[in-house]
Structure 1
Amino acid sequence: MSVEQQVEKRGRRKPAHMELVGGKGSRQRAWEAMRKHAGPFTCFQIARKAKVDDETLFTYLISLQRGGYVECEKVDGKAIQKHAKWTIVRDNGVEAPRVTRDGKLVTQGLGTEAMWRSMRIVGEFNTTELAAHAEAAGVKVSEETAKAYIGALYGAGYLVRVAEVRSLGFGKGNVQARYRLGPGKYTGPRPPMIQRTKQVYDPNLSQVVWKEELKNDDDL
């Protein structure tokens, strides 16, 4: 079976909160183990060091290979996943390369990272300002996206509202509410994530920190 066929047999990745150990995802742990390893390594060696499933790691290695980050030493007549030797040929630094199965860079989540970083740097902000700061960092973020992220972090207790929405008068619109990070609420460099289940997961803490309350008929 070819490498491509072996990779296509792998299933989808698990949700982020199921992959994280100590605040780091399986890819990040694997990448750190690869960088620390002296010389070429096998999938088995890194999987044990990083506490990552063998098949999950093999899939990531193939993605890295396609993206030009690692090279694989051919092994004739042996199972590639078990016996192949891998070497980093393009060091991305401490952060694990975020690539698709085709080796292309993943852009999803960059906006969230830019907003989380901007919140710490700028102090107070409103929706428009946060989106602008993220864009200044090279990431396109819509005001609707910024509004949703602010709302989720406010609901989770990360943000303090320092000024309420204020009307400018009939037909003149409103002044946006202003926010800032609450004391001690910067939990680390990885941004809290809004998951599909409408909950906020903080990878720095390795835990779900907030779930949206379900409305019942009495709330309608």
Structure 2
Amino acid sequence: MMQAEQQHTTELKRTGHRKPLQMELIGGKNARQRIWEELRKTSDATFETYPIARAANVDDDALRTYLQCLTAGGFVEHVSGVRYERRVYRLLKDTGIEAPRLTRKGEPVKQGQGAECMWRTLRMLGEMDVTRLVSHAAASGIDVAPSYAKTYISLLRKAGYLITTLPSTPHRMERFRLSPQMNTGPRPPQIQRVKTVYDPNLNKVMWAEDPEELS
């Protein structure tokens, strides 16, 4: 049994597969969000790495990687210490409750911006169709492919987030709006490769193509 588990772990590392997002979260928050919230608690704007890792319940590699991103982006600076567990950093820029989504070069992560923009639009505006949704995203500086918008809306509908207000016809697109009961929070429901809709606001899989994913 132990040998089989080790082989499975090796296969995951070799192929680059990751667990579904909900398996990596604690309390609906991913590792970077938990780290960021702990950094914002530092009263004197300085912190040591070891206490942050323990308080955020993350491994050292996760903290080290995110600190590299934050340093490159100008959010924190290395103050002192050579060995990782003894390093002291200073928080330079507190941009609010949401953890900065950054690459290793400190640049904003573009992946997921389309979903964030569409979800924000659904929460702010009323009835709309896919064309208006894409246009509103473009006006905000986010390019969302119509095919991706249609897929996102289709899966949100299956998960119970949307109410159809005007059915489609051969000459008219369907119109819809967000169900008031499903306005779950600021973070967009995420469409995963395992064909599930995961809501990070509720820390819950809301729809799955395979019903066993919901059990």
Q: Which TM-score band applies after superposition, normalised by the shorter structure?
A: 0.7 to 0.9
Q: Provide TM-score, normalisation by structure 1.
A: 0.82
After TM superposition, give the deviation of residue 183 of structure 1 in Å.
3.1
Q: What is the identity, as a one-letter code, of the residue corresponding to 1:69?
A: F
After TM superposition, give the deviation of residue 55 of structure 1 in Å.
1.7
The alignment partner of 1:151 has SS state of helix
1:28 and 1:112 mapped to 2: Cα distance?
A: 18
Alignment of 1:200 with 2:205, yes or no, is no
Deviations 1:152-176 (A, max 9, x none): 1001111111211112xxxxxx210
After TM superposition, give the deviation of residue 34 of structure 1 in Å.
0.4
Q: What is the identity, as a one-letter code, of the residue corresponding to 1:140?
A: D
Distance 1:96 1:12, change over 3 A: farther
The alignment partner of 1:157 has SS state of coil
1:23 equivalent in structure 2? 28
1:121 and 1:97 mapped to 2: Cα distance?
A: 22
Alignment of 1:179 with 2:176, yes or no, is yes
Percent sequence identity is 48
Alignment of 1:62 with 2:65, yes or no, is no
Unaligned segments of structure 2, at least 5 residues: 1-15
Q: Where does 1:1-220 land on structure 2 (aligned, <5 Å)?
A: 15-39=20-44, 40-76=46-82, 79=83, 81-167=84-170, 174-213=171-210
Q: Which has the higher helix share?
A: 2
Q: Give the number of the structure whose alpha-carbon radius of gyration is greater.
A: 1
CA RMSD of aligned residues (A): 1.9
Q: What is the identity, as a one-letter code, of the residue corresponding to 1:211?
A: A
After TM superposition, give the deviation of residue 74 of structure 1 in Å.
3.5
Q: What is the identity, as a one-letter code, of the residue corresponding to 1:186?
A: N
2:125 and 2:40 mapped to 1: Cα distance?
A: 33
The alignment partner of 1:114 has SS state of helix
2:143 and 2:55 mapped to 1: Cα distance?
A: 37
